[in-house]
Amino acid sequence: MTFEIKTTEPPPYQWKWTIVWDAQVSPFRKSGKRGKKVRSFSETGSFTSNDTTWEATLNDKILGGKLSVEVKAGSTEFRRTVFVLGKNPSKDDVLAYLKQIPNTIGFDLILEQESHFKNFWDTDNEPVVAGDKGFGMTQMTHPSPTYEQVWNWKENMKAGTSLFQQKQRDAISSFKGHPYTEDQLKHETFTRWNGGSYYQWNAKTQQLERQDMLCDSQTGNIGWNPADPTNAGKTEAELHERDKDEYKKMKAGQSKDHRWTYSGICYADHILGN
């Protein structure tokens, strides 16, 4: 993107640019509008140049949002504002990029679950934003992504796969030297990506065993602790009927009468088809 001024004023010229973007929650439906603002991003720069043109490199970063450019040429001032949008890569391009990154087996399943391989919302070409402040293709939350990691899908992938690799290392460490299968490693890694741990070691049976969690099969990561007296003795169907209207309230919907929880165990089971 190139900006140009037309002036008879002699150089040098004072250039200044600012790009800002307010991250609003993406709608559930394509026809819907974005929701509340969860975070704001900004970047700025200034320089002096003898040129009347400037290639908007934005500190050598790929960024999007409202870009304002100001130029002072003698006593004359120029100002231009544009909105920079994004474009999704193809699924094949994403998979080809992922293939180059080691220790990411199964991460394509997470991308399918989190964003359907999309960094940008189709209707407005701005990054995908979740209510829990998850951003972009990998829905990065913690650590909180940078401005470029939100807008640049490759940087988003780098951040996401780095976190996935750490969760994989944590999973292996959690086994404490006990034997495990590739399938067990996937379950433990996927659970830790979402939160919590999948297995516990049973010293009596000498096996890794799934921790007790009843999952709502109609969701991706919601379940109940069967040991909780409020949930004890109830079926999945009964608990779903009791709590389903509370899910949309997110954590505010978790109360003494509605003892559901977000569960990494249920997340892993959902993705891996258990």
Give the model's confidence band at 126: pLDDT under 50 very low, under 70 low, under 90 confident, else very high.
very high
Q: How confident is the model at residue 117 (pLDDT cuts 50, 70, 90)?
A: very high
Domain borders along the chain are 2-84, 87-181
pLDDT at 76: 97
Q: What does the mean pLDDT of the chain come to? A: 97
Query: Does position 57 have pLDDT exceeding 90, yes or no?
Result: yes
- Please tell me what DSSP assigns to residue 119: S
Q: Which two tokens stand for residue 170?
A: 């944590």
pLDDT digits over 218-269, tens only?
999 999 999 999 999 999 999 999 999 999 998 999 999 999 999 999 999 9
CB atoms under 10 Å from CB of 267, counted, come to 26
pLDDT at 50 over 80: yes
- DSSP characters for 146-168? PHHHHH-HHHHHHHHHHHHHHHH
